[in-house]
Chains A and B, each alone.
Chain A
Amino acid sequence: MAKKTLLNEKEIHIILHRLACQLIENHQDFSNTILIGLQPRGIFLANRLVKLLENEYRIKNIILGKLDITFYRDDFRRREDPLIASKTDINFIIDNKNVVFIDDVLFSGRSIRAALTAIQDFGRPKNIELLVLIDRRFSRHLPIQPDYKGRQVDVIKNEQVQVIWKENDKKDMVCILNT
């Protein structure tokens, strides 16, 4: 299996700072903003951004929720492997809030479609934005585009984008696997 590094630790570090600054530009003090990490892999990115915003940019009281979309997916019973749910942790109402979805890779857009349905069960947000670390171009099945993106990549269908986080695998890295 061929493996090519797309982003190294330093590049990810710079990108995270840029994404944090872009969020601040649009959301200022985050008083009416809620960040939602999408389970399972968006949580790492969401936690990192929150840490950065709090420690480096001195923004207080950021609200972060975790949303699991397993029960809202459109491929339930259509795939070979069963789906495994993760924890949803949103103990607040999102009525009239600016919601930002955070995920690692945007591919077909189907997860985001499911997240858009799921989030409605917690209220009616004022608007919803999407932040992703990697935007895979030309692979969308639905008309969904990110508002904030770390890096845009063009990869063919049998290539897989893998995001590795320090919390799991000792280092931060984004690579492309040829399967």
Chain B
Amino acid sequence: MTQLSVNNLLGIKHLNKDDVDLIFKTADHFKEVINRPIKKVPSLRDITIANLFFENSTRTKLSFELAEKRLSADIINFSAAQSSVKKGESLIDTVNNILSMKVDIIVIRHPNEGTSDFLSRHINAKIINAGDGAHEHPTQALLDSYSIREKLGSVKGKKIVIIGDVLHSRVALSNIYTLQLLGAKVKLCGPTTLIPRHITKLGVEYEKNLTKALEWCDVANVLRVQHERMDIKYFPSVREYTQLFGINKELLNSIKKDIVIMHPGPINRGVEITSDVADSKQSIILNQVENGVAIRMAVIYLLAQQIKR
């Protein structure tokens, strides 16, 4: 396969296995590019990309920006905090105004679920979802699976446990879709209040006991506790959460095998994961960040390939 089956990257749900394989294969080439003395290719010289961030972001925003620059695209950045959104402008108006500046691709992060899908039905540009509420974060899931593939050789047949605040996590949902497409087994672990009630219908299992979950898995993807999205109390205290679901060195040592530790960032050090684990040899957290640039280059490149002048 040489082309994506989709016109936009709204979520992993719309992709098939060939799409993911193509993205990974293309990312392999870009990973080589970003390790050269001059880390840039001229492919997208005539493409303009708008990064619209209606929600805070460090990693994803920088990673997209860097990926776009490495492909030589022109970019404009927009963050809601300093814009006319504050004056009451609607989303479509904002985006249409940006599009009249001849933008080809839009990367959007928004606190509301379904925003990128909504935009794709109303505007004529390629859309890349950089996270919509608690729904999907496709590029994060792609880079997570890509990092597992890099570390363990393949994703197929591997056992991955996603630990923590699954309820508020777009990373978790996109990860479940991606891992299942690639033939991995997925378990979830965390306080019952932070596990969506019907999530097991997706074909994933739930394990309440962290030690058992870790003994079972090859890879532990530790999610951030999203305090800012918690409108009610989901667990009695942070201290209790850490005692029951926090990953620390003693716990990992008590398990008789080396498991790979991942975290999508930003980390609450000492809450869901301790510093000695996050910075250990088992952790591939910083590899995830490096791979994020290559994966985003691949996604942008493959979508841009579909634009005909």
Contacts and interface: CB of A to CB of B under 8 A. Distances in A.
Interface of A: 68, 70-72, 76-78, 81-88, 93, 117-118, 120-123
Given A76-B305, A82-B2, A117-B42, A93 B32 contact: no
B284 interface: no
Contacts of B2: 81-84
Interface in B160-187: none
Contacts of A122: 36-38
A120 B41 contact: no
A123 B38 CA distance: 8
Interface of B: 2-3, 26, 28-29, 32-33, 36-43, 71, 301, 304-305, 307-309
A110 to B, nearest CB: 14
Tell me whether chain B's interface is mostly helix, strand or loop, or mixed: loop
B32 to A, nearest CB: 6
Contacts, number: 50
A71 B33 contact: yes
B26 A85 contact: yes
Select the residue from B36, B39, B40, B305 with max chain A CB neighbours within 10 A. Answer: B36
Contacts of B307: 77
Contacts of B309: 77-78
B32 A121 contact: no
Given A78-B309, A87-B28, A121-B36, 4 more contacts: A71-B29, A81-B2, A84-B2, A121-B40
Contact of B38 (A68, A81, A121): A121
A87 B32 contact: yes
Nearest to B25: A85
A118 B43 CA distance: 11
B40 A88 contact: no
A71 B41 contact: yes
A139 to B, nearest CB: 25
Contacts of A82: 2-3, 305
